Amino acid sequence: MRNDVPTGARTNGGGARRALAVVRAYPELTKIRLTGLVVATTAVGFLMAGGGRQEVSRLAWTVLGTALAAAGAMALNQVMEVGRDARMERTRRRPLPAGVLTARHALAFGVVVAGAGLAILAAEANTLTAVLGLTVVLVYTLVYTPLKPRSPLCTLAGAVCGAIPPMMGWTATGTPLGFGAWLLAGVLFLWQIPHFLALAWLYRDDYARGGFRMLSVVDASGRSTGQAAVLYSMALLPVGVLAALGGMTGWGFAAGSLVLTGGLVALALALAAKKSDAVARRLFLATLIYLPLLLGLMVADRLPSPQGLAAALQAAGR
């Protein structure tokens, strides 16, 4: 570890300060809040697939494996983007551009941690869940990251990465991929578009300095950003009805989903009408509130899966 820490982090503070700086670097290196979101959506997928109290151990292993795989992918992403991160005000204090950790150290950390997470998923969940996790790591590092300086389509590639974790939670229960898993993936995919477009509008100048071709950079008028935010927000409107019709939830979720999504659409329309930082910030904050409320309501109103219902009836008949 000592040889992987740049000289700047080894002086002017002694060993204790150096060690503290390195420890504090890891949450930033692994984008701990984004990793937390991945873990939360994985748990939602597990619960919606019928994972019950008797499977707490499997849920814990699935969450741990997913967290490690995601953390490793985040570290690898920062290794690949260190030069561009150094140009951006928003990211120049990250561990690599700030010189707290070396790229070699972060690369080794990312590979080992991601590999450990995938191994845990294969051993404690199942092969399909591990394959889905590997897909996320590969798409994030080999598709999303290289696309960012080339095309606004990177946002869609990133959304694919965010859509897969609830499917991982679903398959970890042993339940085959079906309508419910794909609906959850669709929710996460669609939600990420207005969420990230609002963020990209707020930091459009910073992204331009970093050489990232986000939609807000390519189309400085903001017209495309506003239209896309509206389109993808509106696509979330039928989610609740589909979940109820598909037997995943009751109609309470359908009603609540319409109310929540209606508010999101209204803010996206506001961004399309007035491309201002204030409106974009409101939409961004709304997406942060929207997702936990939507998923929480979904879990609260979930209906027993066929497998879970059959097991409950069998237990009751004993």
**pLDDT score recorded for residue 5:** 52
**pLDDT score recorded for residue 220:** 92
**pLDDT score recorded for residue 309:** 43
Q: Tell me where in the chain the CATH 1.10.357.140 domain(s) lie.
A: 21-177
Q: Tell me where in the chain the CATH 1.20.120 domain(s) lie.
A: 178-305
φ, ψ (nearest 5 deg) of residue 249: -135, 175
Question: What are the distances in angstroms from CA 33 to CA 129, 135, 175, 177?
Answer: 22, 21, 28, 27
Report the CATH number of the 178-305 domain.
1.20.120
**pLDDT score recorded for residue 313:** 39
Q: Which residues of the chain have pLDDT under 70?
A: 1-14, 52-54, 305-318
Could you tell me the fold of the domain covering 21-177?
Tetracycline Repressor; domain 2 (1.10.357)
**DSSP per position, 1-17:** -GGGS-HHHHSSSHHHH
**pLDDT score recorded for residue 4:** 55
**pLDDT score recorded for residue 93:** 93
